[in-house]
Structure 1
Amino acid sequence: MFQRLLILTLAALFSTGWAHAQTKAQPRAVSARGALDAEELNNIGVFKRVSPSVVHITTLAVQRDFFSLRTSEQPSGTGTGFVWDDAGHIVTNFHVIQGGDRATVTLNDQSSYPAKLVGAFPDRDLAVLRIEAPRDKLPAIAVGASRDLQVGQKVYAIGNPFGLDQTLTTGIVSALNREIESVTRRTIRGAIQTDAAINPGNSGGPLLDSAGRLIGVNTAIYSPSGGSAGIGFAIPVDEVNRIVPRLIRDGRFIRPALGVTAGPLNLAQALGVPKGVLLVNVADGSPAAAAGLKPFARDRSGRIVQGDVITGLDGQPVADLDDMLSLLETRQIGEKVTLTVWRAGQTRKVVATLGSSD
Structure 2
Amino acid sequence: MAILDEIGASIRQLAQGAGTSVVGVGQRWGAGSGVVLGEGKVLTNAHNVRGDRVTVTFADGRAADGDVAGHDIDGDLAVISVDTGAIPALPWADGAVAEIGMPVFALANPGGRGLRVTFGFVSGVERTFRGPRGQRITGSLEHTAPLLPGSSGGPVLTAAGQLLGINTNRLGDGFYLAIPADETLRGRADALARGESAQSPRLGVAIAPNHVARRLRRAVGLAETDGLLIRDVEEDSPAARAGLAQGDLIVATAGRPIRTSDDLFDALQAATPAGTVELNVIRGTGERTIQVTFA
- Give the TM-score normalised by the residue count of structure 2: 0.66
> In structure 2, what is the equivalent of residue 253 of structure 1?
198
> Residue type matched to 2:41 in 1?
H
1:52 and 2:20 correspond: yes
> In structure 2, what is the equivalent of residue 347 of structure 1?
none
Matches within 5 A, 1:1-358: 37-59=5-27, 75-86=28-39, 88-98=40-50, 100=51, 102-134=53-85, 137-145=86-94, 148-161=97-110, 164-223=113-172, 229-238=173-182, 239-253=184-198, 308-309=255-256, 320-323=263-266
SS at match of 1:247: helix
- In the alignment, structure 1 segments of 5+ residues that lack a partner are 1-32, 60-74, 224-228, 258-263, 274-303, 312-318, 334-356
Is the CA contact (8 Å cut-off) linking 1:198 and 1:218 kept in structure 2?
no
Is the CA contact (8 Å cut-off) linking 1:162 and 1:199 kept in structure 2?
no
Q: Report which structure shows greater RCO (CA 8 Å, sep ≥6).
A: 2
Is the CA contact (8 Å cut-off) linking 2:55 and 2:63 kept in structure 1?
yes
- Give the TM-score normalised by the residue count of structure 1: 0.56
Is the CA contact (8 Å cut-off) linking 1:208 and 1:216 kept in structure 2?
yes
Change (3 A) 1:198 1:37: closer
Instruction: Please provide the CA RMSD for this pair.
Output: 3.9
- In the alignment, structure 2 segments of 5+ residues that lack a partner are 202-207, 214-223, 228-250, 274-293
User: Which structure is larger by alpha-carbon Rg, 1 or 2?
Assistant: 1
Is the CA contact (8 Å cut-off) linking 1:154 and 1:173 kept in structure 2?
yes
SS at match of 1:41: helix
**Alpha-carbon separation, structure 2, partners of 1:124 and 1:247:** 11
CA displacement at 1:237 relative to structure 2: 1.4
CA displacement at 1:55 relative to structure 2: 0.7
Change (3 A) 1:325 1:47: farther
CA displacement at 1:162 relative to structure 2: 7.4
> Residue type matched to 1:49 in 2?
G
**Alpha-carbon separation, structure 1, partners of 2:190 and 2:124:** 27
CA displacement at 1:245 relative to structure 2: 1.1
Moved over 6 A (4+): 270-273
Aligned positions, number? 236
CA displacement at 1:38 relative to structure 2: 3.6
Change (3 A) 1:94 1:162: closer
Is the CA contact (8 Å cut-off) linking 2:52 and 2:67 kept in structure 1?
no
**Alpha-carbon separation, structure 1, partners of 2:99 and 2:266:** 24
CA displacement at 1:196 relative to structure 2: 0.5
- Partner deviation per Cα, 1:138-161 (whole Å, 9 max, x = no partner): 211111258721011011111134
CA displacement at 1:325 relative to structure 2: 6.3
